[in-house]
Amino acid sequence: MKQRFHYFAPCPRGLEALLAQELNGLGAAEVKPTDGGVSFAGDWLLLMRANLHSRLASRILWRLAVKPYRNEEDLYQLARGFDWPELFDVSRTIKVVMTAQGSPLRSLDFAALKVKDAVCDRFRAKLGERPSVDTADPDLRIHVYLTEREASLYLDTSGEALFKRGYRVATGAAPLRENLAAGILQLAGWTPEQPLLDPMCGSGTFLVEAAMMALDMAPGLDRSFAFEGLRNFSADAWAKLCDEAHARCQPPRPLAIFGSDYDQAMLDATYANLDRFGLADCVTLERTDFLSRSAPAPEGVIVSNPPYGIRLDEQEQLAAFYPQLGDALKRSFKGWRAYFLTGDLRMAKLIRLSASKRTVLFNGALECRLFEFKMVEGSNRRIKPGEQAENQ
C-alpha cells in the first residue's frame, strides 16, 4: 500500500490549476499541472481516494512505463516488457487506447494493435492463454500516450470516465460534462453559503454538482471503478474509504440552490437527475423565463450556460437575446455575480455589460469563455482606480 506510484489525471482544459489544488488536498505528491491534466505521485490508497473524491479529473491513469520510441516495434517491446499477468487476471477484457501529439507514426490503429499483441503475448508466454479484447465495454483500458519521441504506458484505474457519476438518467440537448460544471462552480468562487441560481438549467448539471458539493457527497460513491478488478485491489481498504466518505456526507436538506428553465421537459430532466441521488428536496425548481424572473435572494451567484446556436437563424435569435439577458441582470439581479459559459464569443459585446473576467475553457473540443459580470447594488458604488466600470 505504501509504495509510491506515478499517475496522470486528464481534465477539461482550463481546469488544470484547480485540479492540481484538489489533488494536493487529497494528499498527492509531485503535483504538476500540464496542458489537459495533472501528473502526480502517491500510494495505492491515494489512487482510490482520487477516484472517489475528485470532482475535476476525467480519469486516473496509473503510469506503468515511459520510454523513448521510434516505431511500432519499440511500442511492442515497451508493452511486452511489463508483467501484465501480475496486474490482472486473464479473464479480464481489455482495450488499448492510443493518443498522440506530434507522433511520427502513420497509423495509431496499427500501433494500438501492436501494444495489444504485446500484452496478449506476455499472458500467453506465462499462462498459455490470453485476455479477450472488448472495444465497447472493456474491464480494463490500457492507454498509450505518444509525443514526438516518448511513449508513456498507462493503466486506466477509473474505467468509465469519472464525470459519469451515475446520476444522469435524463438529458437535454447539450448537457455539460459534470467535471466541467464542478470546475466552473469553483472558478466562480461559489461556496455553499452563497445562494446559487442557474436560470437556464437544462438537465441541471450545475445544480446537481452544487448540491453534492454542499452536502460533501463524494462524486464516486455510487459507481464502480476499474481498479476493483486489479490484483492488488484491497477490498478492505476500499470499504474503509467508502465508509469514511459516507460518514462525511450530510443528509439531504433544503439548500439555497435554485434552478429554472422555460422548458418543462428540461425541469423534469433536472428533477429526475437530482432525484437519482436523493437530492430532489435540496433544490428549488421553477418553470420560468429568465427574462422575467425575479432574484430568489438579495445577493448570490448565477452560473449558467445559455443556449448557443449553430444555424444562422439561431445565431440571429441569440444576437437579439443577449441584450435582453443583460437588461434582465441589470433589472433584477443587483448584488449578484453572474457567470456564463458560452462558445459564442459575441456574447461579451452583445450583452452590453462589461465582463470583469474572461476565462478560456474547453467543452470537449469547443473553445469557450466563462464570462464574469458583477452586478453592483445601487448606482452610487464608487469605482476604485484601476477597477473596471460595471453594468454600463
Ligand X SMILES: C[S@@+](CC[C@H](N)C(=O)[O-])C[C@H]1O[C@@H](n2cnc3c(N)ncnc32)[C@H](O)[C@@H]1O
* Closest approach of ligand X to the CB of residue 160, in Å: 18
Of the two residues 155 and 181, which places its CB atom closer to ligand X in the complex?
Answer: 181
Cβ-closest position to ligand X: 202
Of the two residues 119 and 184, which places its CB atom closer to ligand X in the complex?
Answer: 184
Q: In the range 241-280, which residues lie near ligand X by CB under 6 A?
A: 261-263, 266
Q: Could you say whether residue 291 binds ligand X (CB under 6 A)?
A: yes
85, 172, 278, 323: which one binds ligand X (CB under 6 A)? 172
Count of other CB atoms within 10 angstroms of residue 153: 23
Contact pattern for ligand X over residues 307 through 326, marking x by CB under 6 A = x-------------------
* Closest approach of ligand X to the CB of residue 366, in Å: 12
Supply 226's cell numbers: 476499474
152, 179, 305, 359: which one binds ligand X (CB under 6 A)? 305
Sole window of 37-45, 141-149, 220-228, 304-312 interacting with ligand X (rule: CB under 6 A):
304-312
* Closest approach of ligand X to the CB of residue 180, in Å: 9
Which positions ≥6 away from 161 have C-beta within 8 Å? 58, 59
Of the two residues 138 and 202, which places its CB atom closer to ligand X in the complex?
Answer: 202
Q: Could you say whether residue 340 binds ligand X (CB under 6 A)?
A: no
Supply 136's cell numbers: 465497447
* Closest approach of ligand X to the CB of residue 225, in Å: 24
Q: What one-character DSSP code corresponds to residue 280?
A: G
Supply 200's cell numbers: 437556464
Give the separation between CA 125 and CA 118, rounded to whole angstroms: 10
Pairing mode, strands 336-342 and 257-261: unpaired
* Closest approach of ligand X to the CB of residue 274, in Å: 12
Sole window of 13-21, 250-258, 299-307, 355-363 interacting with ligand X (rule: CB under 6 A):
299-307
SS3 at position 63: strand
Q: Could you say whether residue 289 binds ligand X (CB under 6 A)?
A: yes
Q: With the C-alpha atoms ordered 57, 60, 63, 68, is the resulting torsion angle positive or negative?
A: negative
Sole window of 40-48, 237-245, 305-313, 359-367 interacting with ligand X (rule: CB under 6 A):
305-313
Q: Assess contact for 12 and 58: CB atoms under 8 A.
A: yes
Per-state percent for the chain, helix, strand, coil, to nearest 5 = 35, 25, 45
Helix (H) / strand (E) element for 109: namely helix 108-127
Give the separation between CA 270 and CA 274, rounded to whole angstroms: 6
Q: In the range 360-389, which residues lie near ligand X by CB under 6 A?
A: none
What is the full DSSP assignment across 183-229? HHHHHTT--TTS-EEETT-TT-HHHHHHHHHHTT--TTTTS--GGGG
Q: Could you say whether residue 203 binds ligand X (CB under 6 A)?
A: yes
Binding site for ligand X (CB under 6 A): 172, 174-176, 199-200, 202-203, 205, 261-263, 266, 289-291, 305-307
